[in-house]
Amino acid sequence: MVRGYPDLFGVEVLTAQENCDLLIAQAIEFSPNAVVIGNENCYTKVSESLKNYPVKVFAGQDSIAQIVEMDEIDLVLTAMVGYAGLKPTLNAIHAGKHIALANKETLVIAGDLVMAEARRSNIMILPVDSEHSAIFQCLEGEQPGSVEKIYLTASGGPFRGKTRSDLAGITKEAALNHPNWKMGHKITIDSASMMNKGLEVIEARWLFNLQPEQIDVIIHPQSVVHSMVQYIDGSIKAQLGLPDMRLPILYALTYPQRVTSGLPRFNFADYPQLTFHAPDTEVFRSLSLAYEALSRGGNMACILNAANEIAVHAFLHDRIGFLGIPEVIEHCMQTVSFIRNPTYDDYVCSHREAIRRSDEFIVNLKKY
pLDDT of residue 181: 67
Statement to judge: residues 276 and 172 lie in one domain: yes
Tell me how many degrees the CA angle 287-224-326 measures, rounded to the nearest 5: 15
Residue 12 lies in a domain: no
- Mean pLDDT score across all residues of the chain: 95
Residue 157 — very low, low, confident or very high, per pLDDT cuts 50/70/90?
Answer: confident
Statement to judge: residues 268 and 359 lie in one domain: no
Statement to judge: residues 221 and 346 lie in one domain: no
Statement to judge: residues 158 and 250 lie in one domain: yes
Burial 206-235 (b: 16+ CB within 10 A, else e): bbbebebeebebbbbbbbbbbbbbbbeeee
pLDDT per residue as tens digits for the range 192-246: 999 999 999 999 999 999 999 999 999 999 999 999 999 999 999 999 999 999 9
Query: Does 123 have pLDDT greater than 70?
Result: yes
Residue 53 lies in a domain: no
Residue 205 lies in a domain: yes
Among 282, 315, 332, residue at a domain's last position: 282
Residue 366 — very low, low, confident or very high, per pLDDT cuts 50/70/90?
Answer: low
Residue 320 — very low, low, confident or very high, per pLDDT cuts 50/70/90?
Answer: very high
Statement to judge: residues 274 and 303 lie in one domain: no
Residue 157 lies in a domain: yes
How many domains are contained in the chain?
Answer: 2
Residue 169 — very low, low, confident or very high, per pLDDT cuts 50/70/90?
Answer: confident
CA dist 364 and 355 (Å) reads 15
Statement to judge: residues 146 and 278 lie in one domain: yes
Query: Does 101 have pLDDT greater than 60?
Result: yes
* Residue whose C-alpha is closest to residue 85's, from 74, 72, 99, 71: 99
Statement to judge: residues 154 and 211 lie in one domain: yes
Statement to judge: residues 220 and 138 lie in one domain: yes
pLDDT of residue 177: 86
CATH number of domain containing 316: 1.10.1740.10
Residue 122 lies in a domain: no
Statement to judge: residues 238 and 366 lie in one domain: no
Statement to judge: residues 278 and 304 lie in one domain: no
Stretch 333-347: mean pLDDT: 97
pLDDT of residue 258: 95
Stretch 281-299: mean pLDDT: 97
pLDDT of residue 81: 81
Of all residues in the chain, what percent carry a pLDDT higher than 70?
Answer: 98
- Using CA of residue 129, residue 132, residue 138, residue 140, what is the dihedral sign? negative
* Residue whose C-alpha is closest to residue 74's, from 126, 5, 140: 126
Query: Does 182 have pLDDT greater than 80?
Result: no
Of all residues in the chain, what percent carry a pLDDT higher than 90?
Answer: 90
Statement to judge: residues 328 and 278 lie in one domain: no
Residue 169 lies in a domain: yes
pLDDT of residue 281: 95
What is the identity of the amino acid at 153?
T
Statement to judge: residues 333 and 231 lie in one domain: no
Among 231, 259, 282, residue at a domain's last position: 282
Query: Does 362 have pLDDT greater than 60?
Result: yes
Question: Residue 199 belongs to what domain range?
Answer: 130-282
Stretch 21-35: mean pLDDT: 96
pLDDT of residue 129: 94
pTM: 0.94
Among 216, 247, 282, residue at a domain's last position: 282
pLDDT of residue 121: 96
Residues whose CB is less than 8 angstroms from the CB of residue 265 and which lie 6 or more positions away in sequence, other chains included: 242
Residue 16 lies in a domain: no
pLDDT of residue 301: 98
Residue 84 — very low, low, confident or very high, per pLDDT cuts 50/70/90?
Answer: confident
pLDDT of residue 214: 98
Stretch 102-119: mean pLDDT: 96
Residue 81 lies in a domain: no
pLDDT per residue as tens digits for the range 325-339: 999 999 999 999 999
